[in-house]
Structure 1
Amino acid sequence: MAEYTETQRKILKIGKREFLAKGFKDASLRGIVKEAGFTQGAFYGYYPDKAALFDALVSEVADGLMEQFKMAQQAHFELIPEDKTAQSRELSTDYLNRFINFIYDNFDTFKLLICCSEGTKYSNYVHDLVEVEIAQTEIYYDRLRQLGKLDGTVSRELHHMITSAYFTAVFETVAHDMTREHAVQYVNELAVFFNCGWDGLLRLK
C-alpha cells in the first residue's frame, strides 16, 4: 500500500471525484488543481500529468485483480495431478465469487476502470483480462485433451466471443451500480448459464 502525503491525498480525493463525474478524457486537470487549492507547480511535483494521476488511483487495484486472476488460472492446472479436473467449472465459480467481492471492496476504483478510463492505458482492461483467460485456458484444455480428460472442440473465434461476452456481463455489475448482494446473485446465475453452455461444447472428465 502506497504511503501518501496530505497533499497527495487531497489531490487523489479530488481527482477521483473529477474522473468519476466526467471520465478521464473530459476531466479538467486545471479544475482539479484549483479545487485542491494548489498551484500547477505543486501538482507537477507529484504527478507529471493527468494520466499519472489516474494511474495512481487505479494501478494497485487493477494489478491486484489481474494477479488474483492469474492465481485462479494456476489453481486449475493444479487440479490435473489431483485428478480433479471435472471440478473445473465449480472452481471457476468459486473464484468468480472471490473476484466480485474484491471488486466491491474497491468499487470506486473499478468504476474508474470500467466506466471512466477511455483515453488511458486502462481502456482495454477488460479486453486484457479476456486475452489472459483465453491464452491460459487453451493451454489448459490442450493438456486435458492429451490426458483424455476433455471431449469436444471450440474454435478460437468462438472461445473469444464467449469469453468476451462473459467478462462484459460480469462487469455490468459495476456499470449499472448493482448492490453487492444483487451482484453476487447475478454473477452466480451468470455462471450457471455460461457453464451449461461450456458443458454442451466441452465435456470435462
Structure 2
Amino acid sequence: MAVPDHSIDPRILASARKEFLEKGFEKASLKGICQGADVTTGALYKRYKGKEELFCAVVEQTVKELYAVANERGDRDPRELSDVELIKCWDMDGSDMMWWFQFLYDRHDDFVLLLTCAEGTRYSNFQHDWVEVLTKATSSFLAEAQRRNLCRKDVGPDELHILLTAFWTTIYEPFIHRFTWEQMEEHCRIVCHLFDWHSALAFRILE
C-alpha cells in the first residue's frame, strides 16, 4: 500500500502563497504553483477544484482568526458597561493598537493577499467587507452611548462605516506598502494621535 505524502498540501499552499503575492490572483498560474511545489497538476486537482479554491485555502486560517477577534470584541453587551467603561471603549489606546498591528503583522503575507491580490475571488471586496463587520460590531456601542447622552447623536451606522473606513485605511496602507515592523511601530503611534474618537464623537467628560 502506498504511503500518503503528507508534505504535499503544505508545499502547494506555500507555493500558491508565493505565486499569488508575486502575480496576484488573476495572473497566477496553477502550472507555476505546481512547479514551485514540485507536484503534478493531478495532485493539485485532487485537493482543490481550481485556483479560487486554492486562494481561499491559503488565506482561510487568517480569515477565521480575523473574524474570531471581531466576534469576540463585538459579543460584549454594551448595556452591561458603566458609563466610564463605555466611553473607554473609544480610547485610542497605544497598547491595543499595537496589538492589532502585531496581530496583522504575524499574518502579514495572507493579510496582504486579502488587501491587494484577491481580485477575482470571493474576497475581492475584503477591505469593504471587513469594515462592514466592524461597523456592525461597533454600532451597538455607539447606539448605547447615544442613548445615555454620552456623545453626539447625529452619527448613524452609515457615517460610522465611513469613519471606520478611513480609520482602517490607515491600517491597510502600511501593509500594502510593505512597511517593516519598525515602520509599523512608528506608524501605529501616529495613528493613535491622528484618530481622536472622543473628540470626533463629542463624548462627555465624566467627573
Judge same fold: TM > 0.5, yes or no: yes
User: Once the two structures are aligned, what percentage of the paired residues are identical?
Assistant: 27
The aligned runs of 1:69-148 (5 Å cut-off) are 69-74=70-75, 77=78, 80-81=81-82, 83-90=84-91, 94-148=95-149
CA distance in 2, matches of 1:188, 1:93: 7
Q: Residue 179 of structure 1 corresponds to which residue in structure 2? A: 180
Shift of residue 152, structure 1, vs aligned partner: 4.1
The aligned amino acid for 1:60 is: Q
TM-score computed with the length of structure 2 as normaliser: 0.85
The aligned runs of 1:34-73 (5 Å cut-off) are 34-73=35-74
* RMSD, matched Cα: 2.4
Partner SS, residue 84 of structure 1: helix
TM-score computed with the length of structure 1 as normaliser: 0.85
Unaligned 5+ residue runs, structure 1?
Answer: none
Superimposed CA distance per residue, residues 22-55 of structure 1 (whole angstroms, 9 cap, x where no aligned partner): 0011100122123433322111111111111111
Q: List, as ranges, runs of 4+ consecutive aligned residues in structure 1 with deviation greater than 6 Å.
A: none
CA distance in 1, matches of 2:99, 2:68: 13
CA distance in 2, matches of 1:78, 1:64: 26
Shift of residue 94, structure 1, vs aligned partner: 4.3
Q: Residue 193 of structure 1 corresponds to which residue in structure 2? A: 194
Superimposed CA distance per residue, residues 57-81 of structure 1 (whole angstroms, 9 cap, x where no aligned partner): 1111122012112222345838714
CA distance in 2, matches of 1:12, 1:175: 21
Moved more, 92-101 or 178-187: 92-101
The aligned amino acid for 1:202 is: A
> Kindly tell me: are residues 183 and 80 of structure 1, through their superposed partners in 2, closer, same or farther at Cα, counting changes over 3 Å?
same
Contact 2:78 / 2:140 at 8 angstroms: preserved in 1? Answer: no
Q: Which has the higher helix share?
A: 1
Shift of residue 102, structure 1, vs aligned partner: 0.9
Shift of residue 84, structure 1, vs aligned partner: 1.8
Unaligned 5+ residue runs, structure 2?
Answer: none
Contact 1:114 / 1:175 at 8 angstroms: preserved in 2? Answer: yes
CA distance in 1, matches of 2:15, 2:170: 30
> Kindly tell me: are residues 78 and 186 of structure 1, through their superposed partners in 2, closer, same or farther at Cα, counting changes over 3 Å?
farther
Contact 2:139 / 2:160 at 8 angstroms: preserved in 1? Answer: no
Q: How many residues align?
A: 201
Contact 1:153 / 1:202 at 8 angstroms: preserved in 2? Answer: no
The aligned amino acid for 1:8 is: D
Superimposed CA distance per residue, residues 104-141 of structure 1 (whole angstroms, 9 cap, x where no aligned partner): 11111112111111111122222122112222322222
